[in-house]
Chain A
Amino acid sequence: MSNIKIFNVYKYYNGRAVLKNINLDINEGELVVLLGPSGSGKTTLINGIAGIISFENGEVYFNKDLMNNVPIEKRNAALVDQNLLLFPHMTVYSNIAFGLKMRRLDKQIIDKKVKLLIDLMELSGLEKKYPYQLSGGQAQRVAIARALAIEPKVLLLDEPLSKLDKNLRRNMQEFIKELQKKLNITTIMVTHDLEEAFIVADKIALLIDGEIKQYDTPANIYEKPVSKEVAEFFGCSNYIYGKVENGKFISDVGVFDVNVSNCQYATYMFRPEQIILGEKQKNSLKACIIKRQYLGDRVNYIIDINGNKLVCSSNNKNLNIGDIVYISLDFDKAICFFE
């Protein structure tokens, strides 16, 4: 168990910066999700923490110890690779026991630990099977068990659930979260699945183009994004452009009372579920539905207000194209960007 500090890290490939000025502080026992689009540098960062690649610049600390020159095998940072990399010539049992065997532990101690992990990861009955005989989910659990066996200071999971179908994935997410809390292992998990990030993370670090755009709790990163880029990553958003003068936000959509100081260019952002469809009220706005997207548990309506298109999400599935609706916008909860 250990905290992790990543300071001012840069990584270049062929003269191109793949990681730029990465700074992260991870507390002991925390689970941080590294989220970002494909090619944003997630694997590169996590591989650097494990020691598989070296960074051109910057420092990685576990507790107070600088890791930069510590060889892979001495770091005690267990990485579960995107491709799992189970040892093909070894049984499930031998795979899990590998790290302990390399430490030359007593056979009986190894046996006890491996059996414990086999129970914990619900792998009983598979001890003598070879990796090619396992299902995707089983293989993934073996890979995690093998990593946990060495009681790592730091657990690094690179899209460990990417190959599972949705149901198994949900189960494994719960499972990983519970296990991680139970064992209190500082963990970094990579994913590009938003929902997965929200389910498992204590904190999310959003990586885009090799830069950490925001590092915050799931609630904060969704509700208080620091930039439009971050907001947009977490799904479709509505922007209303205008200016603020004497406590009023003046825009094409309308004039609203707000609590901010004067500003020539202001942008308010509303999530689709923050636009409430309802009855005509004091501050409600009249709008017309121009498009309808049925999503099963809810419906997305695209509405038109004075020529501005907004997307709103609602449980009310009974509205149709052409209907006139009244919406209310809560400017206190909306996010404002000043430019």
Chain B
Amino acid sequence: MNINKILVRIIALLLFFPILFMVFLSLSGAWPWPFLMPKSISLRGYLYVFNPSTKILKILINSILLSLIVTFITIAISLPAANALAFYDFKGKNIIKVLLFLPLIVPMIAVTMGIHLIFIRLGIVNTYLGVILIHVIPGIPYGVKILLNVFELKGNKIELQAKILGASTWQVLRYITIPIIMPTLVVAGSVIYIISFTQYFITFLIGGGKIITYSIILFPFAESGDRTILSALSVIFVISVLAIIYLSEKLVKKIYKNYI
């Protein structure tokens, strides 16, 4: 076995172990120290999650939809932005490149505080629209950066060829760029989705406690210390994210096949 294969296995194990531990925890009844295994198995955590009176499932679905919308909007903004940064020369290009990464450098809380005031004026605090917009901000740097790298690597010769054959800017995007960078779009989309799905504080601030996402219900359990329920919630969290990424990849591939 060469070093690469060993490394991959170590990394997989390191990633897998906490998840396995979480699954154990979520199914455990009593698990006092110093036992290596829980003393009993219990479905209490999952029963709580799936109990309609807790509305957790409904919140989960809402959160997924919200994050999917955020992902679409973020990609829709990142795509032309990365395209312009890669292929056009204009004044202030470098400044814009730096500004785009600001949300990564400045804490999101500070950014959100500022935007909160604007949103109050616009009347979109405590609304889905407000939460969606605030979620787009931390995703943009990732979306732009990932796509910019690919555009710079790939160049735009193929796109120019499409133009020569008479395709409009919109047709080039639809028939050439998007299909060719689809695998990268899926990666960028997954990252953006996860960023949105895990936002807690900014959702709370802009949503004003009226817009409840899955991450928001997760945090009180982390505080209260009911580790079984917290773990069950976390397992569902992980499964939902994996499922969404998997399904969207499948869907995207299918659409992309018919598209050409």
Contact = CB atoms under 8 A, between A and B. Distances in A.
Interface of A: 50-52, 71-73, 75-79, 81, 83, 85, 87-90, 94, 98-99, 101-103, 146-147, 149-150
B180 interface: yes
Given A90-B260, A102-B171, A85 B166 contact: no
Interface in B156-177: 157-158, 160-168, 171, 175-176
A78 B157 contact: no
Interface in B219-260: 260
B29 interface: no
Contacts of B163: 71-73
A295 to B, nearest CB: 40
Contacts of B38: none
Contacts of B157: 81, 83, 85
B9 to A, nearest CB: 33
A73 B167 contact: yes
Nearest to B176: A87
Given A52-B160, A79-B164, 8 more contacts: A52-B164, A73-B164, A83-B157, A87-B161, A98-B165, A101-B175, A102-B167, A149-B165
Contacts, number: 58
Contacts of B162: 87, 98, 102
B180 to A, nearest CB: 6
Given A89-B260, A90-B260, A103 B166 contact: yes
Contacts of A85: 157-158, 161
B179 interface: yes
B166 A88 contact: no
Interface residues of B, number: 17
Contacts of B160: 52, 72
Contacts of B176: 87
A94 B161 CA distance: 14
Contacts of A101: 175
Contacts of B179: 89
Contact of A99 (B166, B168, B260): B166
A103 B171 CA distance: 10
Nearest to A50: B164
A47 to B, nearest CB: 9
Contacts of B164: 50-52, 72-73, 75, 77-79
Looking at A73, A90, A98, A147, the one whose CB has the most chain B CB atoms below 10 A away is A73
Q: Which 5 A-B pairs have the closest CB atoms?
A: A99-B165, A85-B161, A72-B163, A102-B167, A73-B163
B165 A150 contact: yes
Nearest to A94: B260
A52 B158 CA distance: 12
A52 B160 CA distance: 7
Nearest to A79: B164
B260 A150 contact: no
A14 B163 CA distance: 26
27 contacts: A50-B164, A52-B160, A71-B163, A72-B163, A73-B163, A73-B166, A73-B167, A73-B168, A75-B164, A77-B164, A78-B164, A79-B161, A89-B260, A90-B260, A94-B260, A98-B167, A99-B166, A102-B162, A102-B165, A102-B167, A102-B171, A102-B175, A103-B166, A146-B165, A149-B165, A150-B165, A150-B166
A90 B160 CA distance: 16
Contact of A81 (B161, B167, B175, B260): B161
